[in-house]
Amino acid sequence: METTKHLVLIIMIITIITTTYSTSLPTLTPEQNQIATKIIDAMISSGSFEDWSGAFLNTNDEINGPVLTSTLFLPKTSVEGINATSPLVASYHIVPQWLDFSVISLMNPFSRIPTLLFGHSIVVTNNSASGFTLDGVLISEPDLFVSPSIVIHRMASPFNFSRYGGGDGVS
């Protein structure tokens, strides 16, 4: 009886924490939206996660054009059922904020990071120094690429937004 009550209480607290930490995406300007669309188109046309970084850097080039200040989470391996050519998958792996590892590593568990996939965010699942995970996926090479406006982190595998994104509707 007591155990059940405690369990209910714990679940309620977790729900409250998860809800409180959700943040929403700052509205992008039309120009930022245009760059975002260009980047996502290039990534999904590249055909594989391996080619995402080249596509991302070529279309988000701070020397030759306007840049979308952003962070790309680049999956190291592919996973059956998560398609590198899906615009939803690509959008969910880009955060329109500059988040190098020194910034990310200060985030607490259950913190949510809004992505370019509308209404979906990435959640901090473990913030221990030796095993920092987002959506249950290890950041295998933090700060793989860092410039004044862009960051790329390599992730052990792709994110699953249906499971962790916290949204409803898109699947």
151-170 residues in contact with ligand NAG (CB under 6 A) are 160, 162-163
β pairing state of 94-95 and 121-126: unpaired
Q: Is 78 in the site for ligand NAG (CB under 6 A)?
A: no
User: Between 29 and 126, whose beta carbon lies closer to ligand NAG?
Assistant: 126
* Using rule CB under 6 A, residue 86 touches ligand NAG: yes
Residue sitting closest to ligand NAG (CB): 131
Q: Is the Cβ–Cβ distance between 45 and 123 less than 8 Å?
A: no
Angstrom distance (rounded) from CA 89 to CA 2: 43
Length of the chain: 171
d(CA 75, CA 71): 13
8-state DSSP, 79: B
Per-residue contact track with ligand NAG, 28 to 67, x per CB under 6 A?
Answer: ----------------------------------------
Place of tokens 């992008």: 28
Per CB under 6 A, the list member of 5, 63, 81, 169 interacting with ligand NAG is 81
The contact set with ligand NAG (CB under 6 A) reads 79, 81-83, 85-86, 126, 128, 130-131, 160, 162-163
